[in-house]
Amino acid sequence: MPSGHGAITLAWAAATDVGHRRQVNEDSFVVEPPIFAVADGMGGHAAGDLASEAVVRRLGDVISDGFVTPAAIGLALAQAAHDIAHLDGTALVGAGTTVTGMALTVSGDDPYFAVFNVGDSRVYRYLSGDFEQVTVDHSVVQELVDAGAITRGQAENHPDSNVITRAIGFNEPPMPDYWMLPLEPGLRLLACSDGLSKELSDEVIHQALAAGRAAEETAAELVRAALESGGRDNVTVVLVDVLEVEPGA
């Protein structure tokens, strides 16, 4: 516990569904302080579910009582990439996964969430009316948007919408992006696979987070909405609420 703070109270929930079209749920998740994460094994690739399992297992290994360093996350992801490279029977086709989530960490004496991302799963942030997508997709479409070649609107139905530019696995060293977000009471972070973000618009996700329902209920509601909207992919959500951040004595 950082000296500047008495106690941090969190609530969290996770929900997942295979969806209406897929036979296998290739998503995996871990929700245990200080790590909350979603991994989406590559659809169509061999052993995508093993790859996403490998990354959440490695993240699970760094779970401790208090906080983790972002370097520990980087190391866990590198180890997962190594595991995935050695999955049986995948040497020729390759296997890979996205991963995104948040980990409790400390800078100075203050607690932060280190949000991390590789691929096109997402973390959204909601705090007192403000809603934003924290992570930036590692996807061809996002690169086209960044380059000004297409608009956000055109991005939604782009034929390359499922092509990602970074992953854990496929014999690449992982290149995670990080964001540091201060812990504030009322902060609500949502990590999800693209089975949610491709089915529901930002407005719908925003409404669900703003509705003021408990984490568990909100997570279940989001998955239900994604299934009603088509459920074309596996859908997984992990939700964390910061209830209290008590200043220490």
Is residue 185 at the binding interface for other proteins, with CB under 8 A as the rule?
A: no
The CA distance from 233 to 236, in Å, is 10
Quick check: 242 and 183 in contact, CB under 8 A?
A: yes
Is residue 234 at the binding interface for other proteins, with CB under 8 A as the rule?
A: no
Tokens linked to 79: 């180890």
Nearer to other proteins, 147 or 203 (CB): 147
| Binder of other proteins out of 156, 160, 184, 246 (CB under 8 A) | 184
The CA distance from 234 to 248, in Å, is 42
Nearer to other proteins, 157 or 249 (CB): 249
| Binder of other proteins out of 1, 46, 78, 150 (CB under 8 A) | 78
Chain residues 80-109 in contact with other proteins, contact rule CB under 8 A: 82, 107-108
Nearer to other proteins, 110 or 217 (CB): 110
Stretch binding other proteins (CB under 8 A), from 45-53, 66-74, 193-201, 218-226: 66-74
Is residue 79 at the binding interface for other proteins, with CB under 8 A as the rule?
A: yes
CB of 137 to other proteins, least distance (A): 12
| Binder of other proteins out of 112, 124, 126, 170 (CB under 8 A) | 112
Q: Please count the other Cβ atoms lying within 10 Å of the Cβ belonging to residue 93.
A: 12
Q: How far is CA 49 from CA 32, 163, 180, 198, 224, in A?
A: 20, 18, 29, 20, 22
The CA distance from 98 to 80, in Å, is 11
Q: How far is CA 101 from CA 38, 56, 135, 166, in A?
A: 6, 10, 9, 16
Q: Which residues bind other proteins (CB under 8 A)?
A: 62, 68-72, 74-75, 78-79, 82, 107-108, 110, 112, 114, 136, 173, 175-182, 184
